[in-house]
Amino acid sequence: MKETVILDRKFREMIPGEIIGKKIDEMAEKLNHDYAGKDVVFLGILNGAFLFAAELFKRINLKARISFVKLASYEGTKSSGSVKELIGWNEDISGMHVVVLEDIVDTGHTLELIIGELKVRKVADIRIATLLFKPKAYTKTIPLDYIGFEIPNDFVVGFGLDYDGYGRNLPSVYTLVK
Ligand code: IMP
Ligand code: MG
C-alpha cells in the first residue's frame, strides 16, 4: 500500500496513475467519437482540473479549443457570507459545443454555477466530463455525461486535487486515512 503524508494528514493510494491514464484514454475515445465533425471548446475549471484537462486534451483529435476559468470567492455585500463568481472568460463561446472539465464533482454546487453561466452565454450545448464523482455527496440533478471514477464520500488528493494547496502533483489519487 502506497502511503504519503501531506501537511498533518496521512493518505493512502486509491487509484494508481496508470489506471487513471487508461480511463482518460477511454474517455477521450468516447469524446472523439461523440463530437466527430463538430467544433468543440473544452472548458477546464481551475485549479483542480488542470492536470486532467491536459491529459485528456492531448488525446483529443477533434477540431478543438481549450480554455480555463476559475471560481473566485468574494465577500458579498449582504451578510449572507461569501459569493462565488467565475473569472477568466476571455473568448467567445456562443454557439459552441462545450465540454466542461472537472477534477471532481462533489455536492455539485460548482457545476450548477458553471452551467448557469454557460446558459447565459448561449452555447449550442453543454456536456460535463469529470475525472471523479462522489454520488453520495451529489445534491443536484444535472446529468454527468462522462465520469472517470465514482468514489466514496471521502476526501481525496492527487492528480490535480489538493489538500490546503498541496498534493496536486501526486500522479495517483490518494484517500485520507482516518
Ligand atoms: P462541489 O461544488 O461540492 O461539487 O465541489 C467543488 C470543489 O470542491 C471541487 O471542484 C474541488 O475543488 C473541491 N473538492 C471536493 N471534494 C474534494 C476532495 O475530496 N478533495 C479535494 N477537493 C475536493
Ligand atoms: Mg475544482
pLDDT tens digits, one per residue of 92-102? 899 999 999 99
Task: Tally Cβ neighbours within 10 Å of residue 99.
Answer: 26
Distance 108 CA to ligand 1 centre (A): 9
Query: Which residues on neighbouring strands pair with residue 67, listed in sequence order?
Result: 43
Q: What is the mean pLDDT of residues 109-128?
A: 93
Q: Where are the beta strands (DSSP E) in 47-91?
A: 63-75, 82-87
Residue 79 has pLDDT above 60, yes or no: no
Note the pTM of the prediction, 2 decimals.
Answer: 0.94
What pLDDT shows up at residue 90? 78
Distance 124 CA to ligand 2 centre (A): 24
Residue 108 has pLDDT above 90, yes or no: yes
Q: What is the mean pLDDT of residues 55-81?
A: 81
Ligand 1 mutation pick, 85, 133, 161, 170, max ligand atoms within 8 A of CB: 161
Counting ligands in written order, which one lies closest to the CA of residue 45? 2
In the chain, what percentage of residues exceed pLDDT 90? 84
Q: What is the mean pLDDT of residues 123-133?
A: 97
Q: Which atom of ligand 1 is nearest to the CA of 106?
A: 4
Q: Per the residue annotation, which of 92, 106, 145, 162 is the catalytic one?
A: 106
* Residues with a beta carbon under 5 angstroms from ion ligand 2: 48, 103
For the stretch 141-172, pLDDT in tens is 999 999 999 999 999 999 999 999 999 999 99
Counting ligands in written order, which one lies closest to the CA of residue 46? 2
Residues with C-beta less than 6 Å from any ligand 1 atom: 48, 102-111, 155-157, 161
Alpha-carbon gap, residue 104 to 131, rounded angstroms: 6
How far are the Cα atoms of 3, 160, 175 from residue 157, in angstroms, in the given order? 12, 7, 6
39-46 and 156-157 strand pairing: unpaired
Q: Which domains does the chain have, with CATH numbers?
A: 17-153 (3.40.50.2020)
Residue 44 has pLDDT above 70, yes or no: yes
Alpha-carbon gap, residue 74 to 71, rounded angstroms: 10
Long-range CB pairs of 53-62, under 8 A, 24+ apart, other chains included? 53/101, 55/20, 55/21, 55/24, 56/24, 56/27, 56/28, 56/31, 56/101, 56/129, 59/24, 59/25, 59/28, 59/29, 59/32, 60/28, 60/31, 60/32, 61/32, 62/31, 62/32, 62/35, 62/36, 62/38
What pLDDT shows up at residue 60? 98
Residue 66 has pLDDT above 70, yes or no: yes
On the question of a cis peptide bond just before residue 153, with omega within 30 degrees of 0, the verdict is no
Distance 104 CA to ligand 1 centre (A): 6
Q: Taking the CA of residue 133 as centre, how many other CA atoms within 13 Å lie in the half-sphere pointing to its CB?
A: 19
Alpha-carbon gap, residue 97 to 63, rounded angstroms: 11
Distance 38 CA to ligand 1 centre (A): 30
Active site residue 106: yes
